[in-house]
Structure 1
Amino acid sequence: MMNSISDGLVYGHRLTPGKSEAMLTWADVESWQPDQGLLWIHLDASNETALNWLEQHGGLSPLTREALLELGTRPRSVVSESGVLVIFRGVNCSPGADPEDMVAIRMFISEKRIITMRRQRVMAVQDIHESIVSGNGPTTAGEFFVALIDRITERIGEIVGDIEDRVAEVEDTIVSAETAELRPLLAELRRESISLRRYIAPQRDMLARLTHERIAWLTEADRTLLRETAERTARYVEDIDTARERALISQEELNNQLAERMNRAMYTLSIVAAIFLPLGLLTGLLGINVGGIPGTDSPWAFLIVTVFLVVLAIVLVAWFKKLKWL
């Protein structure tokens, strides 16, 4: 049976080895018993029906409910006897959204029941749903847990790789491209790196802690996959730091190029001023409106003065070249 997402139940599955029931209804969820297999429900946190069910029938402590519904939160985990509360951050794959504007995935997981919450669509959760529908999905809580983390981390890796590629492109074109084109691009790359690291770094720490927690429903194979995912996340954090440092170095190189161009322009203007300063002094002296200016009555005076000024300019240029100023 299919349910409508408008009732707050986005996905609902009852999982047993070799079998899964696709898209349970609220009636199926309320009639579920632990001996019937692993129950997974994915709820819309903005839907009133889902919120009422979570409060009245969820069987969760007030603190756990509050954490699942909290608007702004960083990645964290809380292990208790009843289950594990985990809050992840994943890439925002919604059309028109910035990938680094990460979305939250809130989950309470125990050996027999999984509750996940969303406010925006999370592609990693949809991947799990599609794999279950196709008959290739997880059948235990541990498999579900590591599969979801793996898909979240995989998409983060794609974004980190894209940032690294764009930084490399900037480094390759930094000599030939216009400064005005590259500076906004570098600023955007640094902003994306900082935004990603803000959530991925605590997620790395959280995964590292979970690998050492005593969680009964995690098998040794699950723990191995969890450790690998934690190591990948740690590597992505390092890659982000490296990309940000490379972007900063590229920004400094651009600033150096700009400063060099300005210095070169000022140097050229200084040389031109040095050449024309004595010429301007002479022409200024000859242009004063007082008596006694030599050559006033000579028809050759202007030509003589012009030739003298040209020769003086040539001498100044030759002298500057000898001094290696030009």
Structure 2
Amino acid sequence: MTDVKTSPGFLHLHALNGGGEWLHMCIKHRETSAYLMEVAMLDDLVVDAMIEEDTRSRVRVLDDGIMVLLKAMHVGQDMARPEDMVSIRIWIDKTRVITTREADVDPILALHQRLSAGAGPTTPGEFLADLIEEHLDEVDDHIEELEDAVNRIEGLVGTHQTEAACPNMAQTQSRISGFLRHLGPQKPVLEHLSRCKHSLLSERERTRIDDGLDQLLRYLETLQNLRDRVEILNDQVARIQDRQLTRSSFVFSVVATLFLPLGFIVSAFGVNLMGVPFEGHANGFTILMVICLALVAGMLVLFRWRKWF
């Protein structure tokens, strides 16, 4: 495959330690499609899937090879942002590994570095198993970040810091849903590969893929558990806010109830007519204030006796 180095879509070509070759190409160049079809002689349906921009994780097993499409973490992503997961497309046959991408992903970079250092997989089947392991190990760090984020939100909700918890909760819930959306379709892919009796996959490689499936299932269970915890926290925040609103409404109601008779009395004494009580009394204002305070005290005693607050 050395002739591919002149293609605009060429990224790198590595020799596998067992004698095969790994070709990595970019789908952003239309020459990539022509090379895969006319020179690499891949099936036209395989080529269409290998150059498609928006793909869903799936597997296609043919007599002469296996095509696998996965979603992997974008290179250099420090935060758990599933919206940055991009497609990686792999074709393996007896002597070749061909991968295509629209953007660099961490598992491909890791294998590139290992092969450049003289290590790495020796066969196409081992390459596929290694790639799946690298991909799942990369996801593991982001799942741990999400668990830490949910634990922090639980601490905030436990101390009734709802204003600080709500923005974090929305972002975390969005990331959890994104990972479930991208990782969920990979379950049937790994199930198919772990049971696939193809000559390209040895018993050991199928076992490694089965271990990867177990790891993926644990991730999906963890993500579902985190989603349930966030939903429970969301309900707790709603109840806390409802109680706060109810308490505030009750306080306003009590204050309004206290001032309603006081407003009536003050209004009655404020009319500019003859015959207002205590009009000519020297201590009329003091008497009025004493009556108002006594009325407030009496209402407070009544509210406490009836356990209205």
TM-score by length of 2: 0.92
Partner of 2:213: 230
Equivalent pair of 1:92/1:100 in contact (CA under 8 Å) = no
Q: Is 1:277 the equivalent of 2:280?
A: no
Query: Could you give the per-residue CA deviations for residues 167-186 of structure 1, whole angstroms, max 9, x where no partner exists?
Result: 11110122336422221111
Q: Displacement of 1:95 after TM fit?
A: 5.6
Supply the AA of the counterpart residue of 1:83: G
Q: Calculate the aligned-residue CA RMSD, in Å.
A: 2.1
Q: Which structure 2 residue ranges, 5 or more long, are not aligned? A: none
Supply the AA of the counterpart residue of 2:50: L
Q: 1:83 aligned to 24, 46, 65, which one? A: 65
Equivalent pair of 1:100/1:195 in contact (CA under 8 Å) = yes
Q: 1:112 aligned to 95, 99, 112, which one? A: 95
Query: Could you give the per-residue CA deviations for residues 144-183 of structure 1, whole angstroms, max 9, x where no partner exists?
Result: 1100000011111211111111011110122336422221
Supply the AA of the counterpart residue of 2:228: E
Partner of 2:166: 183
The CA distance in 2 between the partners of 1:99 and 1:41, in whole Å, is 28
Query: Could you give the per-residue CA deviations for residues 275-309 of structure 1, whole angstroms, max 9, x where no partner exists?
Result: 22222222222223333222222222221111111
Q: Is 1:325 the equivalent of 2:287?
A: no
Matches within 5 A, 1:263-274: 263-274=246-257
Supply the AA of the counterpart residue of 2:108: V
Equivalent pair of 2:69/2:89 in contact (CA under 8 Å) = yes
The CA distance in 2 between the partners of 1:166 and 1:259, in whole Å, is 25
Q: Displacement of 1:62 after TM fit?
A: 1.1
Matches within 5 A, 1:38-77: 38-77=20-59
Structure 1 pair 217/6, CA: closer, same or farther in 2 (3 Å)? closer
Partner of 2:223: 240
Q: Displacement of 1:139 after TM fit?
A: 0.4
Equivalent pair of 1:39/1:112 in contact (CA under 8 Å) = yes
The CA distance in 1 between the partners of 2:79 and 2:26, in whole Å, is 19
TM-score by length of 1: 0.88
Partner of 1:92: 74
Equivalent pair of 1:10/1:44 in contact (CA under 8 Å) = yes
Supply the AA of the counterpart residue of 1:15: L
Q: Is 1:133 the equivalent of 2:116?
A: yes
Equivalent pair of 1:93/1:99 in contact (CA under 8 Å) = no
Q: Which structure 1 residue ranges, 5 or more long, are not aligned? A: 18-36
Structure 1 pair 239/282, CA: closer, same or farther in 2 (3 Å)? same
Supply the AA of the counterpart residue of 2:70: F
Structure 1 pair 176/251, CA: closer, same or farther in 2 (3 Å)? same
Q: 2:242 aligned to 253, 259, 279, which one? A: 259
Q: Displacement of 1:9 after TM fit?
A: 2.0
Q: Displacement of 1:241 after TM fit?
A: 1.1
Partner of 1:203: 186
Greater mean alpha carbon deviation, residues 69-78 or residues 251-260 = 251-260
Runs of 4+ in 1 over 4 A off after TM superposition: 3-6, 95-98
Query: Could you give the per-residue CA deviations for residues 25-75 of structure 1, whole angstroms, max 9, x where no partner exists?
Result: xxxxxxxxxxxx312101111134433322320111111110101111110
The CA distance in 2 between the partners of 1:5 and 1:166, in whole Å, is 47
The CA distance in 2 between the partners of 1:77 and 1:133, in whole Å, is 28
The CA distance in 2 between the partners of 1:5 and 1:275, in whole Å, is 88
Task: State, as a whole percentage, how many aligned pairs show the same letter.
Answer: 26
Structure 1 pair 272/99, CA: closer, same or farther in 2 (3 Å)? closer
* SS in structure 1 at match of 2:56: coil
* SS in structure 1 at match of 2:164: helix
